[in-house]
Amino acid sequence: MPTATPVLGLRERNRLRRTRRVERAALALALEYGVDDVTVDMICEASDISPRTYFNYFGTKEGALIGPAPSAPDEVLIEEFVQARGSIVEDLMLLIARGFFATEPDRDVFAMRRELYTKEPSLQALQVTRMADKRQATAALVRRRLADQFPDMPETEASDEAQLVMSVAMGAFPVISRLWIEQSGDEAEVETYIHAAIARIRRIVTP
Amino acid sequence: MPTATPVLGLRERNRLRRTRRVERAALALALEYGVDDVTVDMICEASDISPRTYFNYFGTKEGALIGPAPSAPDEVLIEEFVQARGSIVEDLMLLIARGFFATEPDRDVFAMRRELYTKEPSLQALQVTRMADKRQATAALVRRRLADQFPDMPETEASDEAQLVMSVAMGAFPVISRLWIEQSGDEAEVETYIHAAIARIRRIVTP
DNA sequence: TCAATTCTTGCAGTTACTGCACTTTTGCGT
DNA sequence: ACGCAAAAGTGCAGTAACTGCAAGAATTGA
């Protein structure tokens, strides 16, 4: 029986294998010695790869630890988001969460990453930093939705509101993903967690 | 007429003067060339200080750009926060904002910082990273308040809720401070901005 | 004015990261 | 099966952020 996924060339397979090998090594070292006491050279020696190639793959020392950035959502999902009419923050979180699932990680790597994240919360800050790069793109999405939903809202107000929507969503995201990762890790349930979190936010901003 | 503030020793005055001189130089350079194209050596040459001392003062290259971390709130303010009964996120933001004002910045430096922040939003991410260091301390405060307000709330739920409160507050903070900095910069008004932002958050998490 | 303390600085070293040129590997047409 | 073009891996040299240490300078308090 042929695989459902398109057959990958030797090139891709090598790249995947290598990526996993390096991620595993990096995570194991970071778990043993702590992120700050691990050097790129150590990772490279443990995973038999040259430092130059390491940076080609991951860009930064922490790249292998925090995992790939969530992929950009495709047009269909975006359109769905623009036309949805739930809480805008909730809808945005669902959109981001789906992008996160587009890149299915290795089982071991996933578990190690979970352990490391709880051990060194500073890595969460790095996630946020990386997300920050996508701020503008995401803000544009939110503005599209606002324009669609409230055609009469003045430009500047929409811009401010978009910023706020994004900030709240990105601020709460680490908490939600931590909860979800610690408790189940099952894709289906992420929507439940998001929904519960939104309800909670509603409560804590109400006197 | 003697000054109201306690007289500073020569040591303190030198340190203050130096700090301002370096901050000014760093900001001017960053505004002219962009943060990434400025080196610590350039800043040191422009402000006539040794690189070693620069790091003693500011710790990181960006330290002189983003300004001092908000000082830890004193016991009185903390007690006030624990016993307040407004929206918990709003009360927390007010607490943080007051800590921010405890260190009064130089007028010029303030203006340059404002300009740089709008020019290079990546600096905001740095602020967040630095705030992340204080996450635990802040979370403890929030938990104190929750324990005071809801004595029956179970441990784990309180912990999750504290995380969420902090994340939302810290997420929204950059937006608010940007609005406030761009429009007035007057201390009195910051409460108004915070209040308005909270109202807005309430709206965007409601379907 | 002198001794104790604190601060600044130079130096040497480590580590993250980058551009460039060179070799190896892979994909593919014949 | 073979060889060529494209892509990927690697070594090297260099830059820049940051740190510990110890010596020298400034400040303080008696």
User: Which tens digit of pLDDT belongs to each residue from A20-30?
Assistant: 999 999 999 99
Those of residues 93-122 in B touching chain A at CB distance below 8 A are 121-122
Structure confidence at residue B17 (pLDDT)? 94
**Do you know the residue count of chain A?**
207
pLDDT tens, position by position, A44-75: 999 999 999 999 999 999 999 998 888 788 89
- Region A77-86: mean pLDDT is 95
Query: Whole-angstrom Cα distance, residue A157 to residue B63?
Result: 32
CB A98 within 8 A of CB A77: yes
Query: Whole-angstrom Cα distance, residue B108 to residue B127?
Result: 20
Q: Does B163 touch chain A (CB under 8 A)?
A: yes
CB B167 within 8 A of CB B196: no
Could you give the 3-state DSSP secondary structure of residue B173? helix
Q: Does B60 touch chain A (CB under 8 A)?
A: no
- The amino acid present at B188, given as its one-letter code, is A
From A46's Cα to the closest Cα of chain B, the distance in A is 30
Q: Residues A157, A159, A160, CA angle at the centre, nearest 5°?
A: 65
Best residue in A129, A168, A205, A206 for a mutation probing chain B (most B CBs within 10 Å) = A205
Give me B6's structure tokens. Answer: 């306690």
Domains, chain A, with CATH or none: 10-62 (1.10.10.60), 75-204 (1.10.357)
Mean pLDDT of chain A: 88
Structure confidence at residue B60 (pLDDT)? 97
Nearest CA among B92, B62, B110 for reference residue B170? B92
Structure confidence at residue B167 (pLDDT)? 87
Give me B142's structure tokens. Answer: 């929030």
pLDDT at B121 over 50: yes
Q: 């990526």: which residue's tokens?
A: A19
Q: Which nucleotides of D are covered by protein (CB under 7 A)?
A: 7-12, 15-21, 26-29
Could you give the 3-state DSSP secondary structure of residue A198? helix
pLDDT at B2 over 70: no
Query: Whole-angstrom Cα distance, residue A31 to residue B26?
Result: 37
Structure confidence at residue B187 (pLDDT)? 67
Contact B164 A175 (CB under 8 A): yes
pLDDT tens, position by position, B123-163: 888 887 888 778 888 999 999 999 999 999 999 899 989 98
Best residue in B167, B182, B194, B198 for a mutation probing chain A (most A CBs within 10 Å) = B167
Those of residues 126-155 in B touching chain A at CB distance below 8 A are 126, 128-129, 132, 135
pLDDT at B207 over 50: yes
Query: Whole-angstrom Cα distance, residue B26 to residue B123?
Result: 14
Give me B203's structure tokens. Answer: 């709206």
pLDDT at B80 over 80: yes
Query: Whole-angstrom Cα distance, residue A61 to residue A73?
Result: 26
| Ramachandran quadrant class, B185 (left: phi over 0; alpha: psi -120 to 50; beta: rest) | left
Stretch among A4-8, A118-122, B138-142 having the lowest mean pLDDT:
A4-8
Spell out a b/e string for B157-166, using b for 16 or more CB atoms within 10 Å of the CB, else e: ebebbbbbbb
- What residues have CB less than 8 Å from A72, skipping those under 6 apart? A99, A134, A137
Nearest CA among B10, B16, B42, B36 for reference residue B126? B36
CB B105 within 8 A of CB B95: no
- What residues have CB less than 8 Å from A64, skipping those under 6 apart? A22, A23, A26, A27, A43, A54, A57, A58
Task: Report how far apart, in Å, the C-alpha atoms of A128 and of each of B8, B40, B105, B167 are.
Answer: 40, 25, 27, 11
Per DSSP, B61 falls in state: T
Q: Does B86 touch chain A (CB under 8 A)?
A: yes
Q: How many CA atoms lie within 13 A of A123 on its CB side?
A: 23
Give me A131's structure tokens. Answer: 């997300």
Query: Whole-angstrom Cα distance, residue B108 to residue B96?
Result: 23
Q: In A 133-192, which Cβ lie closer than 7 Å to strand D? A: none
Give me B79's structure tokens. Answer: 């007690």
- In chain B, the residue whose alpha carbon lies closest to the alpha carbon of A156 is B179
Query: Whole-angstrom Cα distance, residue A85 to residue A79?
Result: 12
Query: Whole-angstrom Cα distance, residue A107 to residue B56?
Result: 44
User: Above pLDDT 90, what percent of chain B?
Assistant: 56
Contact A198 B179 (CB under 8 A): no
Q: How many CA atoms lie within 13 A of B68 on its CB side?
A: 17
How long is the CA A9 to C1' C30 vector, in angstroms? 21
Best residue in A175, A204, A206 for a mutation probing chain B (most B CBs within 10 Å) = A204
pLDDT tens, position by position, A128-150: 788 877 888 899 999 999 999 99
Q: 């950009």: which residue's tokens?
A: A72
Other CB atoms within a 10 A radius of the CB of residue A150 amount to: 12
Query: Whole-angstrom Cα distance, residue A149 to residue A78?
Result: 14
Nearest CA among A149, A127, A115 for reference residue B167? A127
pLDDT at A91 over 60: yes
Structure confidence at residue A5 (pLDDT)? 42
